[in-house]
Structure 1
Amino acid sequence: MEFKTRDYRAEDKVYSLTRISVSSHPLCSSASSSLLHTQDHGSTEFFDPLRGLSTQTLEPVENTAVAEKLPATQPTSHLSSKKEWTSFNKLLMQRFPVPKMISVSSFSSKTIKGSKASGELSSNIQSDELNDSQKLKEGGFKIVSQQEYIKRLHELKDEIMRSWHSDDRVTTLKLSIKVARLLMDTSVAQFYPTLFVLAADIMDMLGDMVWDRIKQKAEFADDGTKICSLSDDFDANRICFEAKETCNNWFRKIASIHELLPRIYLELAILPCWRFLHDNVMDDLMRLVTMIRGVADPLASAYCRFFLLHCAQKLPQLDTGHLIACISDTKIVLTRIVSMKETKYGNFLGDRRLVISLMEPTIEYTMRCIFKDPNQVADMILRLELYGEVPWISVILHYLLKELPVSVVCSNAVEILHLVDCSSDYSFDQCLNYKVLGLKLCEGISQVNTVDVLIDEVIQVAIKRKSLDEYLKILDAYMDIILQYKIDHYLSSILSEIFERLCSEVVTEDELANLQSIIVKLVTHFDDMKQVFDLNYFVDILDVMHGSSRSIVSMHILNNATRNDDINDPTTIKLLFDVAQSLHDSVDFSSTKQDDNQQAERLIVRFIDKVDHGIDLDRHLTFLIECRGAFSSMNDLKEILVHSSNLLATRALRLREKKDTLNFIKSCITFNEVTIPCIPSYSRQLILYLETAEVSLLGGLISHSDGLLDSAISCLQDVNLVDGMRKNEDADGIVSLMRKLCSFMLMVPGNLDQGVTYIPKNILSLLDSQSWITPKLRIRVLCSLLSLSATFSQNELPYHPIHEEVFGNDSLFFGDARYSQELVSLSTLILHNMVDTIPQESSQATRGKLALEACNCIAMSFNVNQEISSVCSKLVEIARSCLGPADKYLQSTINFVHKQSPVSVGGK
């Protein structure tokens, strides 16, 4: 066999494309225009997908399939309010978890246990109600399960609907009264919000059914003849007598209910029906507001007002007097609660707090309604007498502040702050009012007036707080304003105060969370972490933090420090190193990686990558050594450290004297030789061994390069120890690395003691020992080894080492017969391996393609004489039997081999 002689320089000139210098990138607009003129593209405009979307504006497409046609009887505003009501009620039920067992009054228990309204029912509702009222006075409580209670309410709803559809209006009303009467029983406490939601749903259902019935009577005669069609804003004078009579009958029946609360709920349920009788429904609404004042129980009255606000939104009214009246009445009720003194029964502070917390959702919803219309904000503030002399109840003020527009809060910041100062009752945590005010101001931070006066007063308020938690809560809300307006003297005093308090108290989790928020805002505000570290007490405060709060702060610090330029300040590097080490120690990298673990690892890796000690390469290598010890749990980081070490070695070649450079590169290689075996992935080890061997060769360290290549071969021998079931992609990757090793071998001088084909023979032996290498992968490696042998045989290699003292094999062994004989011997062995391996492939199509791939490689490597032609013919026959004679790859291979020699190979 004879290797084919090749002239790589000549081939490069022949096959290289002609290069033309251009003044702009071919994908830019000007180049695209010229391209359109020079080529025949017709009228088609050039569009480059890499440059983004077309400049033409796309017209929005309306989704007609999703759009709903709103009923004429329900205006859009009403549907929006209904959706908001439903969403609010869902949150309300989630806010107060329902206990499994509920203590209810004996009368409520009778209703829940299933006393159904069936059989003969008295038409005299007032008489029945008086009887029920007498029963209600009977003392005693009973225990029922919450499941039983809720199930019974659903049953009552179904019964009401069935009786309605059976035209049994009396039963419908009687059952509805029973549901409403349940709301009189506030002994259920924690369950009351859930009870209200379920009962209000039944009341709404009743109201809708009554409304539809009366509206139908107004629009249609008894015989079905249409009388008129009512619009949303119809007048009462258009309603026929029969419809009005039916409507009057409903209100009279409800007016005969003895108990006040059920009477109010039932009238509210059908409140919109007053529009069938007269146009001034607001008078009826205000009458109901006044009636609710007669409900003594604060919880029952609060939720009744809650339902009133919901029902009022069904009216096409513009007046908002009922909103002001409701919040004023709520203020009176809460004032009585918070002013209660200790009685002979003891201090009921706990119960009062529970009542207030249960009332909070009703206050929140009221404030939403008050400030719903942005055009009426100024009028509402005036009518609420926001800046009056009378202190506000804290809980009401809280939800008022939440709903106030940002512009109003910012323009009246100091006045509102004074308002919060004066509202210090126990109905709500005053710190949260300071906090919500601060958050509102931060939303419109550019609109804040009198910043110095505001912050000065806020800090004085915070300092007076003895609790560290309260102090941090208040400061946290205003930290963005302090940072935005660069009030540095406040910042210094704040950090000093925080550190003093941290040293004198045991820090709780809540306090750590607030401290975390403050520190994160501080960190993210500055572009340069050196400015943050230079702040007095910042590092001391950081040292006090621990747990998840410390980890989160550490991640923000590293993220902020690494988002810009390289980090080169020694002090900053040391502090960031401590931060990264603290983060590393708080995360379990050995467990299955979660998002937080991955983010922490990415930040630490990015920090190490950003560190730059400039020309002090020895210090940087020392830094990498420190990182390897400090972050030992991070396997991915070890790989980065090896890459960084190799980068340092290449930088040393450009910056240093030859003698110093050699020693430094040796240190880098030694660092890598210690680090690489610690990486569990053999494929990654192989990559790093090859990379380090290249760096060694670049520095002229041939012996080190040989040692690294031996380590790479040993790594390949251990691959089958990873697991028994190797994935195809892993195997493909390792084979690709083996082929890369073959390419790298062209630059490595042959070993005079072990022979120039020492490493290729080791690779060949490796193929026989690894069970995971399939015939397909084996052929790929064999082709690479054969190409390597053929390239080694050339008088001039295609590429050489850059180092001037490292000579290629074409220089070292030129004209040496033993060298050529060794290459021929290796190639013969590879050739036989190829021929023996191909039949082992089980897939017929793959076997045919492997035969052609081997045939092409052989024809490119050797002169096609009789011996080579025989081998190629055998491979072509295998391919023809597997792929068929018409296969294009087969035909092109036959043509290629035929051109290499006059001997016919397999026919055409």
Structure 2
Amino acid sequence: MEFRPRNYTAEEATYSLPRSHADTHPLSTPSPSHHQVDVVDHKKDDFYDPLRGSDANGKVSIDNLQDEENSSAVSKADVGLPEKEWTSFKKLLMQRFSGPKMVSISKMSDVIVKSGKVHEKTSTTMPLEELDDPQKFAEDGIKVISQQEYVSRLHELKDEVARAWRADDRVTSLKVSIKVARLLTDTSVLQFYPTLFVLATDVMDMLGNMVWQRIKQKAEFAEDGNVICSLPENFDEKYICLDAKETCSNWFFKIGSIRELLPRIYLELAILPCWRFLLNRPMDVLERLVMMTRGIADPLASAYCRLYLAHCAQKLPQHNTRYLIICINDMEILLTRFLSEKEATHEKFSENCGSFVSLTEPAIEYIIKCIIKESYQTRAGEVLMDLGLGRKQPCVSIILHHLLKELSSELVGSNALEILQLIECSKDYSFDQCLNYRLLGFRLSERSQLDIINAVVDKIIQVVSAYNNLDEYLKVIDAYVDIILQNQMDNHLHVILDGIAKRACNEGIAEIELTSLQSIFLKLLAHFNNLEDIFSLTHFIEILDMMHGSSRSMVNMHILNIATRNRCIGDPTIIQFIFEVSQSLHDGIDYSNMRDDDNQQRARLISRFVNMVDYGTEVERQLAFLVECRGAFRSINELKETLVRSSNCLAVKAMKDGKKHLSFVKSCIAYSEVTIPSVPSRVRQFILYLETAEIALLGGLVSHSDGLLDSAIICLQTLDLMDGNAERGVTYIPRCMLTLINSQSWMTSRMRTMVLCAIVSLAATLSQFKLPYHANHEEMLGNDHLFFGDPTYLQELLSLSALILQNLVDFIMQEPSRVARGSMALEACNCIASSFNPSHEVLPFFSKLMETAKSCLSSNDKYLHSTIKCTAKFLQTNT
């Protein structure tokens, strides 16, 4: 048996493809040249290829696509918008004000008492959470009912109205509806009132729809069922027959005879669209109803009555926003009076006052939304004047807030200075003034003119400089940071950072303040491209050190993300800072849940940072950094692999500088050897041991290389195969591999065949007079020099190969699948033909494997045909 001689240099030259220098990278954007191919589309415009079209012709604008999407969304949203908005609004209203568990029953709530279970409770026996106002329960014997029972009773009343209507008992339906509307006069339990409003108006809306359908039916059909007319969508009173008009008038007369003001208003609002059967301008009725709401004494009841008026007004085909503006102005007068009385009695913003304003806010928000939506395309400027923009007297803060929230970006931008003046004048207790300054900033960032921006920001800086409270200061500044950064107002940026630092040093940073501070810092990080610019900001690091918790972690992650954008990090100051940031993130990782995306992202960022640190020629300092990282980030498994590879790269870098760094290379190898066992994956350990062994061999550290290879083998077996003998021979490692695959039951025949073929190829390569590559080290001699002409070296390789060939045939024959067995036999045949000269020792193995392949594979198998063709020369040589 003898190995086939190989000339690797000649083989490379024979089989390599011809190469030529390319002026540009093949994946880069091609410039127009004579090599460019023109593609003809034959005037087919139905398909646009984005990879073929040019910027000038046929390119679809992303902005245009977005505009089309927006317009499509608006057109879809307009269909049934008022009703959808109202349904959504009611759900949010009930979620926001869930109300107490128990509700008191007033004299006006007899309709609820009818079937509800009433409890007699005293103020001393009721749980504290059931008492909204202790003074309200000062007298004993108060009747209460659970909220669930109250709600259930209202649902029963709604069903009762519907049943009576289906039985043609219109009078009972009206009477029960009046009783339900009367409940809305009871505001004794403030937090329950929104729920009561939603449920009661459901009954009103249902009655209004039934009345509308009945009158419409009378207008379109006679008593005998004959069709009178089909009302168009925009019909007026001239289309309506006398009988339908009389029925409609009768309903309004009945409702007009209701004694109590509030039920009378609600019932008329419920059937408000029915005025279309009597009047050509039904919206004129709104003026009278708006004036009637001024007679409601209770401010909360009057606010929600105006809310229902705004909802019902949306049902008219042409309704004027003037009446809704009157509603808002009336509510502003009531709020001003209410807040002034509290301030006069030094109650300021007591709990009851806060509850009242909070309960009134949804009504204000909805009415203003209706006003702005209806007037935006027509008389938006006049509406602003009607609502008070431009007048000298202050506006109630909460009304101003929702007005500012709903106005278009163009109107906010053009009236920014006037709005700013209004905010400054509005110092009531209905809404935090700083939140209006904040909202103005966010609205201005949408669209505004530079001259207006400068004036507004100058004024805002003056305003917030008077704030001592850090929370208020941060809330306002957060809204203007983007504007300041986009317009390069560096002087203002230094001022606000200085203001944050002073207030934070005096008061510390509370949890409630961290959210705004986190937002400010993330905006700063997003604006600047590199850490040098960020660290140069006044007080940035000082403020960051005072942050804590999840907000600090979020900012740290963004800092680390910016730091790892570039290729390397070499500044020692920045490295130390990022190292401390990474330590803080590492300490916050939940290692019991490493599948969490946030924990995984932290680990990846830290690993990327360590991999990007480069101290240049100061290799000892970089190795010390790796040692420090191994101790600081010991819990991140993926980082350990990064540390080993960084150490190996550092060793190769040192080798290039010459012999004087041999001791440093040994330190790097020792570092890797100590670190690898901490990698949890045995497969990863195996790969790292092999890589490190290669580095050790490159550096001439033979004993280190042998030890690392021994460790690699241990990773693949359960039993220790080493006895520490230094005279193990050149085939020690391959023989260990052979023992390993024979002892591991989990290895398949396919896996064993691949390993054995690789060992045969290795032995054939080691037998050559000139090896295909060498270690780049002057003192590291290859086997072709160390064992040149040594017969025992060659005999050891042949002995191993003979053993391998026998094992190879045995493993292939054990494969149960015929097709797999045939393919494995062909692979072994190719391996033998490329490794050995034909001889009587080799040919029996080759012939048996070829016969196996022919018997297992189809005669048309391409792999079989190509192998027979390629090995024909091998067989001819022997002949």
TM-score between both structures, scaled by the size of structure 1: 0.83
The offset of 1:321, in angstroms, is: 0.7
Q: Structure 2: which 5+ residue stretches go unaligned?
A: 66-71, 118-138
CA distance in 2, matches of 1:594, 1:582: 18
Residue identity in the other structure for 2:334: V
Residue identity in the other structure for 1:315: L
Match of 2:476 in 1: 474
CA distance in 2, matches of 1:308, 1:719: 86
Match of 1:646 in 2: 648
Summarize deviations over 1:325-363 as a string: whole Å, max 9, x none: 110111022122212249999999311211110111111
Match of 2:383 in 1: 380
Task: Say whether residues 1:394 and 2:368 are aligned partners.
Answer: no
Match of 1:543 in 2: 545
Residue identity in the other structure for 2:572: P
Determine which of 800, 812, 823 is the counterpart of 2:786: 812
CA distance in 1, matches of 2:440, 2:60: 42
Match of 1:422 in 2: 425
Match of 1:300 in 2: 301
Match of 1:576 in 2: 578
CA distance in 2, matches of 1:275, 1:84: 23
The offset of 1:312, in angstroms, is: 0.9
Alpha carbons of structure 1 residues 274 and 575: separation in structure 2 relative to 1, 3 Å: same
Alpha carbons of structure 1 residues 641 and 447: separation in structure 2 relative to 1, 3 Å: farther
Partner-residue secondary structure (3-state), 2:428: coil
Match of 2:678 in 1: 678
Residue identity in the other structure for 1:392: C
Summarize deviations over 1:138-190 as a string: whole Å, max 9, x none: 99754434433434444444443444344333333333333333333323432
Alpha carbons of structure 1 residues 155 and 678: separation in structure 2 relative to 1, 3 Å: same
Alpha carbons of structure 1 residues 174 and 42: separation in structure 2 relative to 1, 3 Å: closer
Summarize deviations over 1:350-377 as a string: whole Å, max 9, x none: 1121111011111111221222143332
Match of 2:190 in 1: 189
Residue identity in the other structure for 1:326: C
Query: Are the aligned partners of 2:108 and 2:182 in contact in 1 as well (CA < 8 Å)?
Result: no
The offset of 1:382, in angstroms, is: 1.4
Match of 2:620 in 1: 618
Summarize deviations over 1:719-777 as a string: whole Å, max 9, x none: 99xxxxxxxxxxxxxxxxxxxxxxxxxxxxxx993211111111122223334323222
CA distance in 2, matches of 1:438, 1:43: 51
Query: Are the aligned partners of 1:109 and 1:142 in contact in 2 as well (CA < 8 Å)?
Result: no
CA distance in 2, matches of 1:53, 1:683: 48
CA distance in 1, matches of 2:359, 2:607: 50
Match of 1:321 in 2: 322
Match of 1:785 in 2: 759
Determine which of 585, 603, 606 is the counterpart of 1:604: 606
Match of 2:84 in 1: 83
Match of 1:730 in 2: none
CA distance in 2, matches of 1:457, 1:408: 19
Query: Are the aligned partners of 1:112 and 1:153 in contact in 2 as well (CA < 8 Å)?
Result: no
Residue identity in the other structure for 1:692: T
Match of 1:734 in 2: none
Summarize deviations over 1:8-62 as a string: whole Å, max 9, x none: 3343344333445565666777899969799xx99999x99995899867899x9
Partner-residue secondary structure (3-state), 1:637: helix
CA distance in 2, matches of 1:821, 1:513: 76
Match of 1:281 in 2: 282
Partner-residue secondary structure (3-state), 2:769: coil
* 219-228 or 550-559, which deviates more: 219-228
* 408-417 or 675-684, which deviates more: 408-417
Task: Say whether residues 1:95 and 2:124 are aligned partners.
Answer: no
Partner-residue secondary structure (3-state), 2:753: helix
Partner-residue secondary structure (3-state), 2:227: coil
Summarize deviations over 1:370-390 as a string: whole Å, max 9, x none: 221433321111112212122
Q: Tell me how large the CA RMSD over aligned residues is.
A: 3.9
Task: Say whether residues 1:689 and 2:689 are aligned partners.
Answer: yes
Determine which of 721, 735, 754 is the counterpart of 1:761: 735
The offset of 1:823, in angstroms, is: 0.9
The offset of 1:491, in angstroms, is: 3.5
Task: Say whether residues 1:312 and 2:313 are aligned partners.
Answer: yes
CA distance in 2, matches of 1:452, 1:35: 51
CA distance in 1, matches of 2:170, 2:61: 54
Summarize deviations over 1:245-277 as a string: whole Å, max 9, x none: 222222222223333222222211221111111
Match of 2:129 in 1: none
Query: Are the aligned partners of 2:825 and 2:849 in contact in 1 as well (CA < 8 Å)?
Result: yes
Alignment of 1:623-772 (within 5 A): 623-654=625-656, 656=657, 658-717=658-717, 753-772=727-746
The offset of 1:407, in angstroms, is: 3.0
Partner-residue secondary structure (3-state), 2:80: helix
Query: Are the aligned partners of 1:441 and 1:448 in contact in 2 as well (CA < 8 Å)?
Result: no
Match of 1:358 in 2: 359
Alpha carbons of structure 1 residues 303 and 575: separation in structure 2 relative to 1, 3 Å: same
Partner-residue secondary structure (3-state), 1:717: coil
Query: Are the aligned partners of 1:391 and 1:419 in contact in 2 as well (CA < 8 Å)?
Result: yes
Match of 1:743 in 2: none
* 676-685 or 564-573, which deviates more: 564-573
Task: Say whether residues 1:594 and 2:568 are aligned partners.
Answer: no
Partner-residue secondary structure (3-state), 1:340: helix
Query: Are the aligned partners of 1:794 and 1:810 in contact in 2 as well (CA < 8 Å)?
Result: yes
Alpha carbons of structure 1 residues 99 and 692: separation in structure 2 relative to 1, 3 Å: farther
CA distance in 1, matches of 2:274, 2:239: 14
Residue identity in the other structure for 1:412: N
The offset of 1:282, in angstroms, is: 1.8
The number of residue pairs the alignment matches comes to: 837
Partner-residue secondary structure (3-state), 2:145: strand
Determine which of 490, 494, 497 is the counterpart of 1:495: 497
Alpha carbons of structure 1 residues 159 and 268: separation in structure 2 relative to 1, 3 Å: same
CA distance in 1, matches of 2:76, 2:172: 31
CA distance in 2, matches of 1:204, 1:806: 94
Match of 1:824 in 2: 798
Determine which of 523, 526, 529 is the counterpart of 1:527: 529
Partner-residue secondary structure (3-state), 1:187: coil
CA distance in 2, matches of 1:770, 1:203: 81
The offset of 1:509, in angstroms, is: 0.5
Alignment of 1:116-127 (within 5 A): none
Query: Are the aligned partners of 2:438 and 2:476 in contact in 1 as well (CA < 8 Å)?
Result: yes
Alignment of 1:2-151 (within 5 A): 2-19=2-19, 51=51, 77=78, 79-105=80-106, 107-108=108-109, 110-111=111-112, 114=115, 142-151=143-152
Match of 1:130 in 2: none
Summarize deviations over 1:283-329 as a string: whole Å, max 9, x none: 21121111122222222221221111111112121521112111011
The offset of 1:894, in angstroms, is: 4.9
Determine which of 443, 446, 452 is the counterpart of 2:446: 443
Residue identity in the other structure for 2:17: L
Partner-residue secondary structure (3-state), 2:635: coil
CA distance in 2, matches of 1:336, 1:405: 30
Match of 2:226 in 1: 225
Summarize deviations over 1:617-651 as a string: whole Å, max 9, x none: 33333222222222222221222222222333333
TM-score between both structures, scaled by the size of structure 2: 0.86
Alpha carbons of structure 1 residues 58 and 51: separation in structure 2 relative to 1, 3 Å: closer
The offset of 1:882, in angstroms, is: 5.2
Partner-residue secondary structure (3-state), 2:644: helix
The offset of 1:888, in angstroms, is: 4.7
CA distance in 1, matches of 2:220, 2:386: 41
Alpha carbons of structure 1 residues 398 and 75: separation in structure 2 relative to 1, 3 Å: closer
Identity %: 57
CA distance in 1, matches of 2:640, 2:6: 42
CA distance in 1, matches of 2:177, 2:43: 75
